[in-house]
Amino acid sequence: MSNRREFLTQAAVAAAATTVGTRALAAGNGHHPAGQAPGSGNPALPGKPPLAMDLFPPQHHYGAGGTQLGNMFRVTPDDQAEAMLEAAWKSGTRYFDTSPWYGLGLSERRLGHFLDDKPLEEYVLSTKVGRLLMPDASVDELGIWKGNLNFNYRYDYTAAGVRRSLEDSLQRLGVSKIDLVYIHDLAPSNKDLGDDWKQYLDTALKGAMPELTRMREEGIIGGWGMGVNDIEPSLAAIEHADPDVILQATRYTLLNHQDALSRLFPQSRRAEVPLVIGAPLGSGFLAGSNHWMYSTDIPQGYRQQRDRISRIAHEHGTDLRTAALQFTAAPDVVAATIPGARTAEQAKANHQSMQADIPAEFWQTLKSEGLIAESAPTPG
């Protein structure tokens, strides 16, 4: 019998042979009696959830990130959030990513409400673990999350913690399945963790990662991985555990990508662990905003680099957003790119960007001017 990694690889090869333009990996389904979670003994978690699709990700090679459903930077009204999700769905988006951290549960609640009448087999859903939420009426705004949140949080990367987190997410989402679970923000750049992040990583290696592997084999989830802003924890998970996918945010964009090309991509290929690219627009900077990676502190030279790429894009009949999104989706190790959106118009624009044609001369110009790495894969 083939082992699980061989199964994923064989399924990906079969998909590539039958689906033109689709780079996908199979998401394994657990085969257990309906209503039973073998080995868990926990009725709060579903047995044999109807996991979405035989292929991950959907054919459009991109999804929708859920940060702005959580009132990132400013309040997103309920009707605006609903309209954004509806526009994304009508455009063909079928991969949706969220987290308990996004708006301290608000993103999950809003996404779950939207998905309530959608067939489970028609979409891929991912959320995250690592923080447990606690009701706290004293909390109004918290960091980049705005509005009356009324929740606080604590970190927990233990086996029991990730089970509890997943139970809570299923309740907030109001769904009976979660396809992918990412271990969230376990990284040196997370100021909450600071110098102790390696201790948290050790806890996750002993607790969260083997527990998520068990939950995958039990059929409670479809797969798991890291959801982080730094490369080091992604490499550690690939080396010491058995992740299905890595959600790598903030480290592969038009403006910063050499480190990922040099260190992460080779290990991802070697281990056959695909990547999902988070924050492909730099939390809006590559779509024209003044936020770079969740901050208004813009690295030196980035504005000039962005403006130069934008001018070259217009000279070649395209635009900055389109170039940024397609650039992140181009590498063979990337399964999907997941830009966020706050409005229906932004969701439609993301879809249009992923469908547009960009002339090869545009990418050649960027490389010849040293604006992107010579070794960076480009579309086409």
| CB within 8 Å of 185: residues ≥ 6 apart | 101, 130, 131, 192, 193, 227, 228, 229
Which tokens hold the place of 358?
């960009």
Catalytic residue among 62, 102, 153, 252: 102
CA distance 39 to 345: 46
Instruction: Please confirm, yes or no, whether 102 is among the known catalytic residues.
Output: yes
Three-state SS letters, the chain: CCCHHHHHHHHHHHHHHHCCCCCCEECCCCCCCCCCCCCCCCCCCCCCCCCCCCEECCCCCECEECCHHHCECCCCCHHHHHHHHHHHHHHCCCEEECCCCCCCCHHHHHHHHHHCCCCHHHCEEEEEECEEEEECCCCCCECCECCCCCEEEEECCCHHHHHHHHHHHHHHHCCCCEEEEEEECCCCCCCCCHHHHHHHHHHHHHCHHHHHHHHHHHCCEEEEEEEECCHHHHHHHHHHCCCCEEEEECCCCCCCCHHHHHHHHHHHHHHCCCEEEECCCCCCHHHCCCCECCECCCCCCHHHHHHHHHHHHHHCCCCHHHHHHHHHHCCCCEEEEECECCCHHHHHHHHHHHHCCCCHHHHHHHHHCCCCCCCCCCCC
Q: Where in the sequence numbering do the catalytic residues fall? A: 102
